[in-house]
Amino acid sequence: MTKRSEFLQASGYLFSLAPAVLLGIASFTSLPYLPFVGLIVVAPFLRSVFGDFDESPPPEWSEGVATFLDFLPIAVGVAYLIACGCCIVHVARLIQVSRLGTMLGLWTSSLFASCVAHELLHRKTLVSRVLGRVVAGAIGYPLLEHEHRAHHASNGTSKLPEWPLQAESVWHFSGRRFRHTLATAWRGDRVAAMRNGHPLAGGLPLAIGTFIVCGFLFFLFGGTTALCIYLIQALATAWGMHAMTYVQHWGLGRYENDSERYSDLAWEDTCRLQCWLTFGIPYHQGHHLKNHRVYYRLAPTEGSPRQPAGYVVLLVACCFPPLWRALMKPALDAWRSSEPPLSAGRGLICIRRG
């Protein structure tokens, strides 16, 4: 690969700054809907512009580019915290323009910021982990690290709310998962802290502390209304995380498939923009197979089930179970019968025709 094409390909990951940038611009220009419109309404259509990655392994990346890509999540995490700070400072003005818009804008950027928090929390360095915890707290979901730790520790388990059952709706699954996460978070944190040799090494106290500080700052700058908006978006972000897990693993639990062969199954997608925006999360089966692999070294897993649409479309679809089944059942059947993988390619949705 030439240096130029390598830099071009790597520069796509700069899109990961978009949620923070849009939130920052929204705060200064009093356009609270901007992140929601940009990332939820417009971005899915950009699939037709940027297309898909092919099935080949990722580039070897020269050391300079790899070091830059390695640093990018830290920059994105810091950028998100700055944007969040801007939003807090201007929240009173944003609320005057639109309460719903402020909530949706904040929620959208939180949902996408959870991807950078996820990438940072998977790393071994203290700086990355601490930043990941702070971002998780700021988006309003301090339980992210615990939830995710348990998720990787329980590969393929549908008995626990980790891999949704095929017959289960997103509403049932997210309720089950939210209750389980709340019930086990502190215990899990204590065990992780013990294992890592420091009372704070589990991560939950820092994330909760950040969440409380953010809530207090929203209250300070925007009063009770701003605090309520922050808390509602925090709840919506938590739901969004569970819904994402539903989308990523629906129907792929160990006991609904070949339990001997499969325990790390996940739906994958090769949409370029989505990979750039989310730090490679759509290569989800690969992520579960090697969870310390950094995002820029991930690639589609051979034979993995493929999403018939991007995350945003599937998140909307899963809210309506009949629509979800109509979209996903053909994809699941196709994968189980070992047909060639489905991909939406440059389209918004792909439905295999009988």
Partner 1 sequence: MNSTLPGPNNRDLESVVCGATFAAEILTTIQAISTADTEAEVLDLLFSVRDSLGVEQAVFASFIRDDDSHESFRVMSAASAQWCLNYRDEDEWFSNDAWLLHASTRSEPAVDSEITYRNKGQVAKRDIAIRNGAKSSLIVPAPSSAGLSRLGILVLGSNQEDFFRGCNFVAYKALCRSLAMELGEWWIKHIRRELLDEYRVTDEELELLRRERLGHPTKQIATDLGITEASVNNRFQRLNAKFDTPNRRATANQAAEYGMI
The one segment of 75-83, 164-172, 183-191, 230-238 that binds partner 1 by CB under 8 A: 183-191
Rg of the chain in Å (alpha carbons):
20
The alpha helices in the chain, defined as continuous H runs, are 3-11, 18-29, 34-36, 47-50, 63-89, 91-97, 99-121, 126-138, 144-153, 170-196, 204-249, 272-278, 284-289, 311-318, 321-336
For tokens 């129907």, name the residue: 251
Distance CA 132, CA 207 (A): 9
With beta carbons less than 8 A apart as the criterion, state whether 39 and 18 touch: yes
Asked if 155 is part of the footprint of partner 1 (rule: CB under 8 A), the reply reads yes
| Shortest distance (Å) from residue 76 CB to partner 1 | 16
Sole binder of partner 1 in the list 30, 98, 154, 166 (CB under 8 A): 154
| Shortest distance (Å) from residue 299 CB to partner 1 | 11
Sole binder of partner 1 in the list 194, 235, 319, 323 (CB under 8 A): 194
Residues from 207 through 266 that contact partner 1 (CB under 8 A): none
Sole binder of partner 1 in the list 63, 337, 338, 353 (CB under 8 A): 63
Residue type, 205: P
Residues from 196 through 215 that contact partner 1 (CB under 8 A): 196-197
DSSP 129-165: HHHHHHHHHHTT-TTHHHHHHHHHHTTT-TTTTTS--
The one segment of 41-49, 90-98, 230-238, 284-292 that binds partner 1 by CB under 8 A: 284-292
| Shortest distance (Å) from residue 255 CB to partner 1 | 10
DSSP 188-228: HHHHHHHHHTSTTTTSHHHHHHHHHHHHHHHHHHHHHHHHH
The one segment of 26-34, 153-161, 273-281, 322-330 that binds partner 1 by CB under 8 A: 153-161
Asked if 192 is part of the footprint of partner 1 (rule: CB under 8 A), the reply reads yes
| Nearer Cβ to partner 1 (47/149) | 149
For tokens 């589990």, name the residue: 202
Asked if 291 is part of the footprint of partner 1 (rule: CB under 8 A), the reply reads yes
Read off φ and ψ for residue 349, nearest 5 degrees: -140, 145
Asked if 188 is part of the footprint of partner 1 (rule: CB under 8 A), the reply reads yes
Sole binder of partner 1 in the list 12, 46, 70, 165 (CB under 8 A): 70
Asked if 290 is part of the footprint of partner 1 (rule: CB under 8 A), the reply reads yes
| Nearer Cβ to partner 1 (83/115) | 115
| DSSP-based three-state secondary structure for 114 | helix
| Nearer Cβ to partner 1 (25/289) | 289
Asked if 4 is part of the footprint of partner 1 (rule: CB under 8 A), the reply reads no
Query: What tokens appear for 310 in the block?
Result: 């991007």
| Shortest distance (Å) from residue 257 CB to partner 1 | 17
| Shortest distance (Å) from residue 70 CB to partner 1 | 4
Asked if 187 is part of the footprint of partner 1 (rule: CB under 8 A), the reply reads yes
Q: Identify any residues that bridge with 52 across adjacent strands, giving them in sequence order.
A: 271
Query: What tokens appear for 331 in the block?
Result: 């994809």
Neighbours of 206 (CB within 10 A): 20
Asked if 86 is part of the footprint of partner 1 (rule: CB under 8 A), the reply reads no
Asked if 61 is part of the footprint of partner 1 (rule: CB under 8 A), the reply reads yes
Sole binder of partner 1 in the list 41, 127, 153, 319 (CB under 8 A): 153
> In whole angstroms, how far apart are CA 226 and each of 23, 214, 221?
16, 11, 8
Which residues in this chain contact partner 1 in the complex, by CB under 8 A? Answer: 60-63, 66-67, 69-70, 124, 149-150, 152-155, 157, 159-160, 184, 187-188, 190-192, 194-197, 290-294, 297
